[in-house]
Chain A
């Protein structure tokens, strides 16, 4: 029965992830796409001579962009990316929720869901973003993609591991320090370790060219931040509501079925 509860939570987490992904896609399309388009236009205007040479060299040497056209990238492509991201992280977050429920504070399901969503946004996106922020197209040096990808995922893994350690430590400290102080200590510990990680890990010095317009970069990064913030806020609220309904104690059902009905009885009769 508890296994089926986990399965139900997982399915609802993925559903909440899809819905949150749809909202995030709408925001990404409206506020994110203009800066991506400007960025690509900038890239093409700067490398226009190179394009001419490629064209002269022959038709087979087609540009990468023609594999998927811009209108498709900015609609179906963007939707695919954001929705898959929403489903995948929705599923993982619902599993984290299943572990945290009743273990991290005595919180109701929807409060636990909000907490998990907030922690996921902070650890998976916000803190890695502070060190290795999102970059629009055309700013990256393709030669360093390997290094940049490794550092970015390393930062995420480190952030999540430190956060999990902080939560476990916070639970241990709670009986002696009290809930508030234990939470502050755990949060402070996470912040200090991640600040040290930011200082020690190598910087992405070649991630953004010096000539790239600062206003466009700001616009893009703000859009990225907004998309992620909306995704996780929507996920936390929607999943919280769905989880609350799954986990409402049996008393809620018994109200409709009369006092005689015990959870074991229907199964016993059916068997």
Chain B
């Protein structure tokens, strides 16, 4: 008996699940975009450009370590 009741309940709630997409408010996205976005750009800098045209750290260790990835991902490299 109980099992026969379940399917209609599922299908009715699945029907109500198709609701219009409400955009996430920009207010909620902005802080993440500023702080985490900046952090991600710093990471990209270290993969793509550190110790090439500009250097934060002296030497060539970072450049040499990510060398192959930098070439294959399309960044200019020596």
Contacts and interface: CB of A to CB of B under 8 A. Distances in A.
Contacts of A128: 74
B24 A255 contact: no
B19 A224 contact: no
A136 B76 CA distance: 9
B1 interface: no
Interface in A68-92: 68, 72-74, 76-82, 84-85, 87-89, 91-92
Majority secondary structure of chain A interface residues (helix, strand, loop or mixed): helix
A77 B12 CA distance: 53
A77 B44 contact: no
Nearest to A82: B69
A68 B17 CA distance: 54
Contact size class for A? Answer: 35 or more
A115 B46 CA distance: 27
> Which of B22, B24, B65, B70 has the most chain A CB atoms closer than 10 A to its own CB?
B24
Contacts of A252: 13-14, 17
Contact of B60 (A67, A88, A228): A67
Interface in B5-23: 9-10, 13-14, 16-23
**Nearest 8 pairs of A and B residues by beta carbon:** A81-B69, A251-B17, A102-B23, A149-B53, A81-B66, A102-B21, A148-B76, A134-B74
Interface of A: 2-3, 5-7, 10, 28, 32-33, 36, 64-65, 67-68, 72-74, 76-82, 84-85, 87-89, 91-92, 95, 98-99, 101-103, 106-109, 125, 128-129, 132-137, 140, 142, 145-146, 148-150, 152-153, 207, 220, 223-224, 227-228, 247-249, 251-252, 254-255, 259
Interface of B: 9-10, 13-14, 16-26, 28-29, 31-33, 36-37, 39-41, 43-44, 46-49, 52-54, 59-61, 64-78
